[in-house]
Structure 1
Amino acid sequence: MAQQDTTAPEPREVAARLGRVGVWHGGIGRLSAAAEREFAAEVERLGYGALWFGEAQATKEAFAHAGLLLAATERLTVATGIANIWVRDATAMNAGAHTLAEAYDGRFLLGLGASHAPQVNGRGHTYAKPLAAMRSYLEAMDEATYEGPVATPPARVLAALGPKMVELAGERAAGVHSYFVTPEHTAGAREILGGTPLLAPEQAVLLETDPATARALIREHHLGFYLALPNYVNSLRRLGFDDDDFTGGGSDRLVDAIVAWGDVDAIRRRVREHHDAGADHVALQPIVADRGLGLDQLRELAPALLDQ
C-alpha cells in the first residue's frame, strides 16, 4: 500500500486556493467535451478562482466531469457543487476524490450534498433524513481505505442550508457550500461556523437593468425550478419568507433577494454583502435564457469583481 498523508488541507488553505470569487454553472454538463474545455479555459483566463458544477440526474457523472474540466485548465480549482451522496457509496466517493486530488495537485474540491427527494427517489433510492444520512456517509468515507498514491488528501465541503447541517460541516468538513441563499443566510452560517471553516455561497446574477425584464427572466429560468423543492422552500421560510413569496414564480421580494440583478455595480454590492457577512468565496451563477452559458456576463463582471 502506498504511504499516505492523512491530513487534508486546512480550511484557510482551501479558501486561499479558491480565491474570493468563482463561477457556478449548472448547464455545462449538457455541453460537448470540447465546448466544456473551452468554457473552463475561458473562466480560468478571466481570473476566476474556481469553477463549480452540479450533478444532475441525466448529465455527466461528477468525477468524470471534474476530470474533464481539470484536464482543460492549469490553475483553476474545480469543485462539485454538489456530488450526490445517493449516487455512489462512500468508498467510491472517497476513491474518486483521492484520484483527482492526486492527479491534479490539489485543484479538486469535493462538495457533498444529500440532494432532494425527487432526484433521489427518481434514481430508485429512498430519500431519508438528510442530516442523519450525511453523518453516516461521512463516517463511512472516513473509514474507507484507498490504496492509490495520495499527495494531499482532498478537502471536502458540505451543501448546508439548515443550522444543524452547517454545524456538521464545520465539524466534519472544511466548511459549507450554500446554494440559493441570501447574505443574511451567509451571516447566520458564519455565526454557527465560527471564524475558521470555509464558507462559499453560490450567488445567481443577471446583468439586466430593467426590473420587469429581469424578474420575468429570473422566474422563468431560475426560481420556478427551486421553489418546487421542499429543502429550499424550508430554508427560505427560516429566512423570513412565506407562502405569498412562493406563488407565481416568486414574489418581487424573493426574486430580488435570491438573484443579484442590475448593472455591474449592483452585482458587486451583492457580492460584497456576502463577503462582509463572512463568506470566503462567492460562486457566481449567470442566469441566462435558452440554456446559454452566460460568458458575456462573466467577462463583463470579472474586472469589477476580481479585485474585491
Structure 2
Amino acid sequence: MDIGRVGVWHPMISKAPAEEARRAAARVEELGYGSLWVNEGVGSKEPLAMSAVILAATERLPVGTGIANLWARDATAMEAGRVALADAFPDRFLLGIGVSHGALVTGRGHDYAKPLTAMRSYLEAMDQAAHTLPTPASPAPRILAALRPKMLELSRDQADGAHTYFVPPEHTSQARQILGPGRLLIPEQAVVLEPDPARAREIARAHLAFYLKLPNYLNNLRTLGLTDDDFADGGSNRLADTIVAWGDAGAIAKRVQAHLDAGADHVAIQPLSPEAPDLAHALSQLTDLAGPLGLQRRSGHVGL
C-alpha cells in the first residue's frame, strides 16, 4: 500500500450527501494526497459502508477508518468488513479501530470501565473470526486509535500500528518510541490557513470545544506538560497552538514535517473552517497546501 506522506481527515466525508463525498474524494485524489479518512462520530454514517462508497468513487486513493468504534459492531462483523474491503479494493483500505470515549459509549448502553481490556479481547475475537472467513490476497492493515502507553503497546503487539488524534509532534515522538520500528504511526493534525493569530486561534478554539469535554484527550495532554489552566475558558493560546497548525502554507508544512521527523509514517491533516466543518472550504485549503506539501497532482478527476 502506497499512502505517501500526507493524507486528509475530515468529519464531513461521513456526513455529506454521498455524491458530494464522492466528488470531494476524487478531488483529494487528484491533488495527490495519499489517503482519506472516514470517521465514526455523532451524526456520521456507518464508516465501513462509507469507505466502500469512497473507494468505489476513486481509482487509487487509500481510505482508512479513523476510527471505527468497537462498541458499534461485534468483532466478527468488524473482521468481515475488513476482509470484504481488502478483497474488493486490494492495498487501498486501512481499518482503524478505537474504544471511543466514556460519555459516548455509555450513551450506547455499554460499560466503559475497562477499555484496554475490551480492546484486547476484541482483537482476539477478530483473530478468531478470521479463521472462518476467506483470506484476501492482501489483508488490510489493522491499526488502533491510541494515545497512552498501554494502548500504544497493544497497537504494537496485536495490530499493525496506531492512528493518533489531537496530538502534537512531541506525542508522535513518544508514540514512535513505544511502537518501535515496523509499525505504522499515523497522527491526525488539525490545520487552518489563516495568518492572523487572533482569527486563527478563534477558529482553533471552536475546534477544541468538543474535545475539551473528553477526559482521554485532556489526560494525554497533561502528560505533555499542559495544565488545567490551558483547558479553561475555551483553551489557552498555548493549547490552540499545540493542537492546531495555523499560518501560511509554509507554517503548516513545517508542522507536518515535524510529525514526520518525530517518527510518523504519514500525517492526516484536518482543514478547519471558521463556522463549522465545511467540505468545500476544506478542499480550497487542501488545494492551496498541495504544492507546499510537495504533492504531485494527478489528472483525470473533476473536483467539487
Distance 1:105 1:269 in 2: 32
Map 1:202-213 to 2 at 5 A.
202-213=188-199
Does the residue aligned with 1:305 lie in a helix, a strand or coil? coil
Does the residue aligned with 2:119 lie in a helix, a strand or coil? helix
Task: Name stretches of at least 5 consecutive residues in structure 2 with no aligned partner.
Answer: 297-304
Q: What per-residue deviation string (whole Å, max 9, x for no partner) do you get for residues 202-244 of structure 1?
A: 0000000001111011112x10100100100111111111100
Aligned-residue CA RMSD (Å): 1.3
What is aligned with 2:217?
232
What is aligned with 1:4?
none
Shift of 1:95: 0.1
Letter in 1 for 2:102: A
Is 1:244 matched up with 2:232? no
Letter in 2 for 1:28: I
Alignment equivalent of 2:156, drawn from 170, 194, 210:
170
Paired residues in the alignment total: 292
Shift of 1:119: 1.3
What is aligned with 1:98?
83
Shift of 1:129: 1.9
Is 1:295 matched up with 2:283? yes
Distance 1:158 1:147 in 2: 22
What is aligned with 2:15?
30
Alignment equivalent of 1:61, drawn from 29, 46, 66:
46
Shift of 1:149: 5.8
Q: What per-residue deviation string (whole Å, max 9, x for no partner) do you get for residues 32-90 of structure 1?
A: 11101000000000000100121013321111111000010010000000000000000
Shift of 1:290: 2.8
Q: What fraction of aligned residue pairs are identical, expressed as a percent?
A: 59
Q: What per-residue deviation string (whole Å, max 9, x for no partner) do you get for residues 235-294 of structure 1?
A: 111111110000111100010011000001100110111011001100000011233111
Letter in 1 for 2:61: L
Q: What per-residue deviation string (whole Å, max 9, x for no partner) do you get for residues 147-189 of structure 1?
A: 3462222211111100111111011111110000000000001
Distance 2:98 2:135 in 1: 26
Does the residue aligned with 1:94 lie in a helix, a strand or coil? helix
Letter in 2 for 1:182: P
Alignment equivalent of 1:304, drawn from 279, 288, 292:
292
Alignment TM-score, normalising by the size of structure 1: 0.92
Task: Name stretches of at least 5 consecutive residues in structure 1 with no aligned partner.
Answer: 1-13
Contact 2:65–2:97 (8 Å) recurs in 1: yes
What is aligned with 2:102?
117
What is aligned with 1:7?
none
Distance 2:93 2:132 in 1: 17
> Structure 1's 195 and 147: CA in aligned 2 closer, same or farther, altered over 3 A?
closer
Alignment equivalent of 1:107, drawn from 92, 107, 118:
92
Distance 1:209 1:103 in 2: 43
Contact 1:21–1:306 (8 Å) recurs in 2: no
What is aligned with 1:138?
123
What is aligned with 2:144?
158
Distance 2:149 2:87 in 1: 33
What is aligned with 2:300?
none
Contact 1:94–1:146 (8 Å) recurs in 2: no
Is 1:216 matched up with 2:202? yes
